[in-house]
């Protein structure tokens, strides 16, 4: 099995090293990751400057080859599958992220976006996150990822899939749950400052809202109750109920007389 490992915390992050260690007996591992911290970059890609790539030695971890890229996690996946890897990967693993990627976090996450980019490119992909910003023990998440990958090889599962995995920390883990995305909202805070040249700049911070409605079955609820959450994702963001509503409630009748430069719709 050829495995591509990527992340958003940077190629020297502990979570990536733990993931590689957890997977090394499964086959040929390649690492293509940002050369620095790239958290919360979402699905951004670099288009207005060249990308620089540097070969990095990770032979101590049993890695076949590894590269550091001065771009985003999505850049790393694109470069890996289009140019850097000698052969296409069988699966793409993104992580292990330092901090949870639950609910609406996935819209901002570079970790999840890297997995999405792999899925778009036609490869099965898994994003893995440790649900703590401070805990440095990634071994549990690494071991679980190994078990997950080997299990997916055995069971009747779609050849192309996209999974978002969050592993809780502390206490006794109660098991694994298949979940849907929950809701995570934040109180955004912008700290306004002035630099030595008199120019205003901002630091963005914020706190998670405590009172969120995340019912049974969501990833947020599962991790809160000390379960590992596995959330299957897909790319279709269409709101089908609203599509049906707008098609059937006469909404489009209001646009039949729109003037489009002399003609009517």
For the stretch 171-217, pLDDT in tens is 778 999 999 999 888 888 999 999 999 999 999 987 887 656 678 89
d(CA 210, CA 29): 40
Contact 91, 126 (CB under 8 A): yes
- Which strands make up the sheet holding 175-178, listed edge to edge? 53-55, 65-69, 28-34, 2-6, 91-98, 125-130, 162-167, 227-232, 175-178
Residues near 223 by Cβ (< 8 Å), separated by ≥ 6? 100, 102, 131, 166, 168, 229
The percent of residues above 90 in pLDDT, for the chain, comes to 80
- Domain 2-182+214-258, what fold? Stationary-phase Survival Protein Sure Homolog; Chain: A, (3.40.1210)
Instruction: Say what the pLDDT of residue 213 is.
Output: 64
Instruction: Say what the pLDDT of residue 29 is.
Output: 97
d(CA 8, CA 95): 7
Tens-digit pLDDT profile for residues 65-104: 999 999 999 999 999 999 999 999 999 999 999 999 999 9
Instruction: Say what the pLDDT of residue 217 is.
Output: 93
Residues in the chain: 265
Mean predicted confidence (pLDDT) in 48-70:
94
- What's the sign of the alpha-carbon dihedral 243, 248, 250, 254? positive
pLDDT at residue 53 greater than cutoff 70: yes
């Amino acid at each position: 099995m050829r495995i591509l490992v990527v992340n958003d915390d940077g190629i020297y992050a502990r979570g990536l090293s733990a993931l590689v260690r957890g997977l090394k007996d499964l086959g040929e591992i390649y690492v293509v990751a940002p050369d620095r911290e790239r958290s919360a970059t979402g699905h951004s890609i670099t288009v207005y400057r060249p990308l620089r790539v540097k070969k990095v030695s990770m032979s101590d971890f049993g890695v076949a080859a590894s590269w550091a890229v001065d771009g985003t996690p999505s850049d790393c996946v694109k470069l890996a599958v289009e140019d850097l890897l000698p052969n296409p990967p069988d699966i793409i693993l993104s992580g292990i992220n330092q901090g949870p990627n639950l609910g609406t976090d996935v819209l901002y996450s570079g970790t999840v976006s890297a997995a999405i980019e792999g899925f778009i490119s036609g490869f099965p992909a898994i994003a893995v996150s440790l649900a703590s910003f401070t805990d440095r023990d990634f071994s549990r998440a690494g071991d679980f990822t190994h078990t997950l990958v080997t299990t997916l090889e055995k069971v009747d599962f779609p050849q192309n899939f996209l999974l978002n995995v969050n592993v809780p920390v502390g206490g006794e883990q109660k098991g694994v749950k298949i979940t849907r995305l929950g809701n995570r909202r934040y109180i955004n805070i912008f700290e306004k400052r002035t630099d030595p040249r008199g120019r205003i700049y901002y630091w963005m911070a914020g706190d998670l809202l405590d009172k969120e409605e995340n019912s049974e079955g969501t990833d947020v609820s599962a991790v809160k109750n000390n379960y590992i959450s596995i959330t299957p994702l897909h790319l279709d963001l269409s709101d089908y109920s609203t599509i049906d509503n707008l098609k059937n409630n006469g909404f489009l009748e209001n646009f039949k007389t729109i003037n489009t430069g002399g003609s009517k719709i």
